[in-house]
Amino acid sequence: MHNTAYYQNQRLQLENVALDDIAAHFGTPCFVYSKNALEQSFLAYKNALGDRSHLICYAVKSNSNLAVLQTLANLGAGFDIVSLGELERVLLAGGDPNKIVFSGVAKNAAEMQRALEVGIHCFNVESEAELELLNTTAAEQNKIAAVSLRVNPDVDAKTHPYISTGLKENKFGIDINLAPQIYQRAAAMDNIAVVGVDCHIGSQITEIKPFIDAMDRLLALVDQLEALGISLKHIDIGGGLGVPYQNESTPSVADYMSELLPKLAGRPQTLVMEPGRSITANAGVLLMKVEFIKSNGEKNFAIVDAAMNDMLRPALYEAWMDIQPTSLNSSATAGLYDVVGPVCETGDFLGKDRSLAISQGDNLCLFSAGAYGFVMSSNYNSRPRVAEVIVDNNLAYLVRARETIADLVRGEQLLPETDQG
């Protein structure tokens, strides 16, 4: 099963609420997340790590809705952020600043200042230039910045090129071979405290081996640094496991940890992880309605009310995401459909050649939409961003209102009228 949505009496539900009821109440398109599924996927990491000293920093970029962050903060989650906006979201949701790691290739001085002011756990620094700016910024505030260097272990994560980050050719991180000398520079800086090492080799990784290879390289670096008199307090392996979008078999967190943790036996460092997708992807769906059915000769199209601006993954990565009707009661006969949206782009599709028994007006569910869904949505074609709902047992809560036309033009201004006379 790739998602926590399931059929009960031919109707698709999330926890104990039918998706058709959510569509009727909140309208479509809308993202719907299961609170329980979010909790269970976070606890899978927590339980697998057991007594091992660890910090699970949920990658906010995968889904930054305040109620999602709040749900995870209540379980003791830390957070991996990449911007001031994500930092403020975590604080608004009640997250503990001391459990925040700050990733990203281009943190600016204002972002550093705010993060220092609230006292984050660590900056994951990606270049020498960033290290210098951080040292200066911390000095201005009379603070010491805790730093980990993001190294590039040069392992092939065997994932989509757009989401592979651990190879030398990527813009991310510091060449692992150059890291020791940069650590020495950092250790000598007055307002920097060297505390850790981190890496992130890519996303949607469905094998354990690339993570283990990366950890081996990090550990070799940790030992090299120890010999130079630099002792680290934590090792951060970056993002989490990939997830099943179809029926792919993906390793469980428990399997992953049973291979990773023995590597760390006897080592004092805290293990930090930054999972995003594996916490949120299969905890959420995108609900949409079939507006029209259309045939162009050979091809059938189900034109739905959601589009690439709401869910960009199929258009951007040719990602395959499952699409099923929310009710199996349809009298329609199955046909092969391209599921497409209203945006004026040929690339605006959510699925191609899907066998579906559907009629105009039916609701469809796009599965595995909890990660990199709403967060990547835009207002392209002046489409208001959609609502977000969280289901908790038999209750459904609106956790982000659908945008209005007023939201769309907020901040815009007409030019003053000029006298053409």
Catalytic residues: 344
- Span of 33-41, 110-118, 237-245, 253-261 interacting with ligand LLP by CB under 6 A: 237-245
In angstroms, give the least distance from the CB of 270 to ligand LLP: 17
Laid out side by side, the sheet with 11-14 consists of 6-8, 11-14, 17-18
Q: 219-223: which pairs have CB atoms within 8 A and are 24 or more residues apart?
A: 219/263, 219/264, 219/267, 221/151, 221/176, 221/179, 221/180, 221/197, 222/197, 222/267, 222/269
Q: Which is nearer to ligand LLP, 28 or 124 (CB)?
A: 124
Q: Which is nearer to ligand LLP, 210 or 238 (CB)?
A: 238
* DSSP-derived 3-state class of residue 110: helix
Q: Which is nearer to ligand LLP, 43 or 187 (CB)?
A: 43
- Span of 27-35, 112-120, 198-206, 401-409 interacting with ligand LLP by CB under 6 A: 198-206
Query: Which residue in 26, 211, 372, 374 binds ligand LLP (CB under 6 A)?
Result: 372
Q: Which residues contact 296 (CB under 8 A, 6 or more apart)?
A: none
Structure tokens at 239: 């993002």
Report the candidate in 289, 414, 214 with the shortest Cα–Cα distance to residue 19.
Answer: 289
For ligand LLP, the binding residues in 25-84 under the rule CB under 6 A are 59, 61-62, 80
240 contributes a contact to ligand LLP by CB under 6 A: yes
Query: Which residue in 239, 251, 284, 351 binds ligand LLP (CB under 6 A)?
Result: 239
Query: Which residue in 112, 163, 221, 237 binds ligand LLP (CB under 6 A)?
Result: 163
Q: Which is nearer to ligand LLP, 337 or 374 (CB)?
A: 374
Residue 45 host element (H or E): helix 35-49
CA distance 381 to 72: 34
For ligand LLP, the binding residues in 257-286 under the rule CB under 6 A are 274-278
Query: Which residue in 89, 121, 234, 313 binds ligand LLP (CB under 6 A)?
Result: 313
103 contributes a contact to ligand LLP by CB under 6 A: yes
* DSSP-derived 3-state class of residue 216: helix
Task: Indicate the burial class of 309 (C-beta count within 10 angstroms; 0-12, 13-18, 19 or more).
Answer: buried
In angstroms, give the least distance from the CB of 321 to ligand LLP: 10
- In the bound complex, which residue of the shown chain has the CB atom lying closest to ligand LLP? 239
Residue 315 host element (H or E): helix 313-317
Report the candidate in 246, 250, 180 with the shortest Cα–Cα distance to residue 211.
Answer: 250
- Span of 44-52, 232-240, 253-261, 340-348 interacting with ligand LLP by CB under 6 A: 232-240
At position 203, the amino acid (one-letter code) is S
How do beta strands 299-304 and 284-296 pair?
A: antiparallel
- Span of 3-11, 197-205, 359-367, 381-389 interacting with ligand LLP by CB under 6 A: 197-205
- Span of 15-23, 236-244, 382-390, 413-421 interacting with ligand LLP by CB under 6 A: 236-244
Report the candidate in 197, 215, 204, 219 with the shortest Cα–Cα distance to residue 157.
Answer: 204
Q: Which is nearer to ligand LLP, 31 or 372 (CB)?
A: 372
Structure tokens at 180: 């020791």
At position 190, the amino acid (one-letter code) is D
In angstroms, give the least distance from the CB of 20 to ligand LLP: 27
In angstroms, give the least distance from the CB of 31 to ligand LLP: 14
Contacts to ligand LLP by CB under 6 A: 59, 61-62, 80, 103, 163, 200, 203-204, 238-240, 274-278, 313, 317, 372
